[in-house]
């Protein structure tokens, strides 16, 4: 029994150590980490280009997968509502520019998808996950105000209904 208890303690210690090694997402009320990544058009997009606007920065695992397609379609469906609230949508995954270009074309997406194949920005935003031996972006979203401060953090997002949730929070934060 002592050996079993010791093994359980060692297992828990190793699990908490590996969780501590994972980068943590930036907190609400902090300055959003700056970044510059290529979009599906190949042009560099940086956060500071959007000073004066609200930014919905959402991380997603993979182009052309069911949950990611649902999430992207919902943001696209609501794009006029975001525009009316002075907000832009930026999606980030570890896929390539070419993958994003194909995904946007196939799914009719008009907002920017940013390629982070080196995992730089997904690491900075604590949005990394391992899946079947691959490093992917975890499904997290950051609502950033016009001055670059993170106003809301959404972790482990469910793709269905997420756009509506972000819009409701945006409306509340804007007091409109």
Cite the active site residues: 68
Contact 151, 130 (CB under 8 A): no
Distance CA(25)–CA(18), nearest Å, equals 16
Which residue in this structure is represented by tokens 């500071």? Answer: 48
Can you say whether the dihedral through the CA atoms of 125, 130, 136, 138 is positive or negative? Answer: negative
């Amino acid at each position: 029994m002592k050996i079993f208890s010791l093994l359980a303690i060692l297992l828990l210690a190793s699990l908490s150590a590996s969780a501590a090694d994972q980068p943590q997402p930036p907190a609400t009320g902090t300055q959003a980490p700056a970044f510059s990544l290529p979009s599906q058009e190949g042009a560099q997009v940086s956060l500071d280009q959007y000073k004066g606007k609200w930014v919905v920065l959402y991380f997603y695992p993979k182009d052309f997968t069911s949950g990611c397609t649902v999430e992207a379609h919902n943001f696209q469906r609501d794009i006029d509502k975001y525009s009316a609230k002075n907000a832009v949508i930026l999606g980030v995954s570890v896929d390539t520019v070419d993958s994003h270009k194909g995904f946007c074309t196939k799914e009719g997406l008009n907002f920017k998808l940013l390629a982070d194949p080196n995992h730089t920005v997904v690491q900075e935003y604590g949005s990394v996950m391992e899946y079947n031996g691959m490093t992917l972006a975890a499904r997290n979203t950051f609502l950033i105000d016009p001055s670059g401060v993170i106003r809301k953090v959404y972790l482990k997002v469910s793709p269905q209904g997420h756009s509506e949730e972000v819009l409701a929070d945006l409306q509340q934060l804007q007091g409109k």
